[in-house]
Structure 1
Amino acid sequence: MNEAQVREVLDALEAAGCPHWISGGWGIDALVGRQTREHRDLDLAVDAAREAEALLALEALGYRVETDWRPVRVEVAGPGGGYVDLHPVAFTGDGEGRQAGLDGGWFDYPRADLTIGTIGGRAVPCISKRLQQVFHQGYEPREVDRADLRQLGDCP
């Protein structure tokens, strides 16, 4: 998933009025302010209330559902080989979010952890350094995960 594909996806979601926040590897790059490695996919937390519109916007770009584990996540594959991994987050009236987990649990998205980063000089919505660190717990990290976490030392 290259930077041009990321921009195209973000543009489509914004045009469709779908709130989203970048997480995963591109989210770390957004916090650091530069691309630090190659990425297979773009992880996005999306407002669950607008998930259908997000999927339609991506479908218009040629993305097709490849993995459907809703309500936890749905991954779509793009015509250029990139993937977008959507994580539907249900938000309350006060802006707090919650995403379903595979084990019946959930992941919290506190309003304070929804922030702004930069990709290619463009301000983009993303999750915070703290939330990135939380989401990298509870599993045996791969080398790419450890490398991503080391990058967080370069951001506020």
Structure 2
Amino acid sequence: MTGGTSARWDPAPLREVADLFGRAGCRWWIAGGHAIELAVGRTFRPHDDIDVLLLRDDQHAVQEVLAGWEWWAADPPGTLRPWRPGEHLHPGVHDIWCRPAPDAAWRIQVMLDEAEHGQWVSRRDAGVRRPVAGIGAVSPDGIPYLRPEIQLYYKAKHPRPKDEQDFDAALPLLDTEQRAWLARALTHTLGPHPWTPRLH
């Protein structure tokens, strides 16, 4: 990521992030590796950052719940720039990096996904959709998170060792419907994929 600013991360604790976004007047979900761990019910690896997913129409909730912070938009193909108060980020911008002060490490990454007519629409493939009401789950302590099959779909494009670890941890928990959805989504977007045979 470029843009003349530090890439140093000190991710905020999960509970702190949940408390902050719990004040948002919109739907939000913990995403990334933390979402997989919330589904699995235990911590099993370290994390370099922490991700929150919002629908694009709700993007300004970030500026409200993180008032006083710095917010930087990641313009494709990966240039960070300050996100102005009230500015609407267009569909090409999916990531927002947030930190509490100019000299602080980045604490929270927010990802924006699309939705139309009550359907979540993958930013990778508009043909992959689900009802917005069905893309999340809630942990026993009340933290909303992205369902593991959707998070694994995003992790599958260029799986790193940590993504393989997440897949291995989540796979035993996926029911028949979740496995079938993930297999269809992977095939639709990526074609043959090494994870697909393990989903059958």
Question: 8 Å contact 1:23–1:127 — kept in the other structure?
Answer: yes
Question: 8 Å contact 1:18–1:54 — kept in the other structure?
Answer: no
Q: Shift of the alpha carbon at 1:78?
A: 4.7
| Equivalent position SS for 1:146 | helix
**Aligned equivalent of 2:154, options 122, 135, 141:** 135
**Aligned equivalent of 2:71, options 65, 68, 83:** 65
Rg comparison, structure with higher value: 2
Q: 1-side partners of 2:96 and 2:154: how far apart? A: 17
Per the alignment, residue 54 of structure 1 pairs with 62
Question: 8 Å contact 1:13–1:19 — kept in the other structure?
Answer: no
| Alignment RMSD (CA, Å) | 2.7
- Judging changes above 3 Å, is the alpha-carbon distance between structure 1 residues 109 and 32 closer, same or farther for their aligned structure 2 residues? farther
Tell me the TM-score normalized by structure 2: 0.60
Question: 8 Å contact 1:72–1:99 — kept in the other structure?
Answer: no
> Aligned residue pairs: how many?
145
Q: Which has the higher contact order (CA 8 A, sep 6+)?
A: 1
Q: Is 1:34 aligned with 2:42?
A: yes
Aligned structure 1 segments of 4 or more residues deviating by more than 2 angstroms:
64-71, 77-83, 89-93, 98-101, 105-109, 153-156
Tell me the TM-score normalized by structure 1: 0.75
Q: Shift of the alpha carbon at 1:131?
A: 1.2
Which amino acid letter does the alignment assign opposite residue 56 of structure 1?
E
Listed as ranges, the gaps of 5+ residues in structure 1 are none
Which amino acid letter does the alignment assign opposite residue 39 of structure 1?
H
More strand by proportion, 1 or 2?
1
Q: Is 1:21 aligned with 2:34?
A: no
Q: Is 1:153 aligned with 2:171?
A: yes
| Equivalent position SS for 2:35 | helix
